Structure 1
Amino acid sequence: MLGERLKQLREQKKLTQQELADALNISRGTYAHYEINRREPDDSTKLKIADFFDVTTDYLLGRTDEPNTVKKIQTIAAHRTDDPMSDLPPEAIRSIEEFKELMRIKYGKKPT
């Protein structure tokens, strides 16, 4: 995937492999190996390439098809909509609150 993206970006800019290699301060042979997926650039070189083409490393690596959009990690949170203590009598709820305060004191938290 990386090699294809590199070649596509280079050709869009109408650059030769030598011109791009010079811009990245690497040999043309090294760069050519990147395009044919024979070698992979180190992280520092990937960043230089991404900066040169004004794309994200996620795009270079094929994690997204959007050149300038970072792939976001989706977090899904679940929560209860019912109150599991709603059926407890008031004295039970007070006991729970007292226990919570005791634990805060015991473990060094200030009472609320």
Structure 2
Amino acid sequence: MDDYLKKQMGQRIKEERLNLDLSQDALAEKLGMKRANVSNYEAGRVVPPGNILLEMSKIFNVSTDYLLCKTDTPNSDIESSLDDDIRTIQRGYRRMTNKDRKKMMNIIKVTFEEAFNEDEFEDDDEDI
């Protein structure tokens, strides 16, 4: 990786850390390393090893490709996976009877309510 990309990558790591309002010490603790390592990554002096990049992507909720400056979309892997899931649901929805569609929507609503502890999914819309 050339020096320019190392600097860009370091800048992304720093931006994501600051977006979460984490200090270098706090990120280092989450990654099980010393603050100096995080400082070196952010300065573009050192490229994090694969296992650290993967852990950072989980902490920051971005793709490894984003951290590696291969894409400008932070969640490209996550969005792609979500798109696949939505397409699968849509295909199944089209083949279901109205009764089965209502069952599916009830399952989704209950799951969201439990996951997010919110009641915003209780409307009677049948839009998907």
TM-score range, shorter chain: 0.5 to 0.7
Q: Alignment length, in residue pairs?
A: 71
Structure-1 separation of matches of 2:66 and 2:38: 18
Q: Which has the higher helix share?
A: 2
Q: Select 1:13's aligned residue among 11, 15, 20.
A: 20
Q: One-letter code of the match for 1:39?
A: V
Unaligned 5+ segments in structure 1 are 73-112
Superposed CA offset, 1:1-45 (max 9, x none):
110000100111111000000011110001100000111111111
- TM-score, L = length of structure 2: 0.53
Question: Does residue 1:36 correspond to 2:43, yes or no?
Answer: yes
Q: One-letter code of the match for 1:6?
A: I
**Percent sequence identity over matched residues?**
37
Q: Select 1:54's aligned residue among 51, 54, 61.
A: 61
- What CA RMSD, in Å, does the superposition of the two structures yield over aligned residues? 1.3
Question: Does residue 1:26 correspond to 2:36, yes or no?
Answer: no
Structure-1 separation of matches of 2:76 and 2:63: 7
Unaligned 5+ segments in structure 2 are 1-7, 81-128
Q: Looking at CA atoms only, which structure, 1 or 2, has the larger radius of gyration?
A: 1
